[in-house]
Amino acid sequence: MFTGAMVALITPFQDGEIDFKTLDELIEFQLENGIDGIAPAGTTGESPTLSNEEHKKLIERVVKTVSGAVPVIAGAGSNSTAEAIELAAFAKKAGADATLQVDPYYNKPTQEGFYQHFKAIAEEVDLPVVLYDIPGRCGAGMTAETIIRLSKIENIVAVKEATGSLDHASQIATGCDLTIVSGDDSLTLPIASIGGKGVISVVANIVPADVKAMTDLILEGDFSSARQWHNKLFALSKNLLQMATNPIPLKAAMAMLDMASDEMRLPMTALDESKKVILEKILSDYGLLD
């Protein structure tokens, strides 16, 4: 279920509120372009600045709009285990197919703390769990040994690997049978080389068909052809996401492409005007702007 091209969906805002009309349009765009799964309310979806009520409304709306066409992997993580359980329980009630559970941020738990956190969520809510290991955003991350230990819990089914380390991914791949998906667009193909099965992608917000073309070839075992897509997507992925913290440049790009507003919630701020010229060239070089 959790393989191929899955999009880490933005949360569009308009005048400080979630723009549900645009959200529906973005989901339809993804479905029309053959996306394999939709992951709302994650890092790209600015979940830290969503209220609990907004978070739930967002999950509910995405599940309703997707209407079973593809799996919905609802971001339901928190640095409070009790809150993560609450959000996961709501996601199950709303009809999500799985939850995406990020490393508890700010707390910097021990490895035993990570284990007990995810174990409690998985045992409390009967819904598949995709672990989201992204130490660069959370202040701490899991060792491969902790992830392998967690893999023994029945409904922990996959890991979104965003450590940037192929050695780390390789340790997981050789130590358990969790489905591994990339959490970094530029590393989707390299991670596939050690057993990865796809990506929860940022750039798929704007080029879902291209990301899917690559992951389809990966799943078919045609790495030579997949490498051609990797080479095309690489510059877009790296240049876009190195400009500023995600999703700042992504939202700026989507505004340039008339897909969504670039509105952010503090403490996130819009892309610097000086960088927009560079961004326009990145998009133009890829063929997205005339």
Alpha-carbon span 171 to 275, nearest angstrom = 38
Q: Which CATH superfamily is domain 4-216 in?
A: Aldolase class I (3.20.20.70)
Is 160 assigned a catalytic role?
yes
User: Of 246, 125, 256, which is closest to residue 183 (Cα–Cα)?
Assistant: 246
Tell which residue, 102, 16, 15, 18, has the closest CA to residue 61.
18
Annotated catalytic residue within 92, 160, 212, 276: 160
- What pLDDT digit, counting tens, does each position of 82-115 carry? 999 999 999 999 999 999 999 999 999 999 999 9
Cβ distance 59 to 40 under 8 Å?
Answer: yes
Contact predicate 215/188, CB 8 Å:
yes
d(CA 85, CA 261) in angstroms, rounded, equals 32
Per-residue pLDDT of the chain (290 residues; tens, 9 = 90+): 799 999 999 999 999 999 999 999 999 999 999 999 999 999 999 999 999 999 999 999 999 999 999 999 999 999 999 999 999 999 999 999 999 999 999 999 999 999 999 999 999 999 999 999 999 999 899 999 999 999 999 999 999 999 999 999 999 999 999 999 999 999 999 999 999 999 999 999 999 999 999 999 999 999 999 999 999 999 999 999 999 999 999 999 999 999 999 999 999 999 999 999 999 999 999 999 97
Of the residues 56, 92, 132, 286, which is catalytic?
132
Sign of the C-alpha dihedral computed for residues 37, 153, 166 and 105 taken in this order = positive
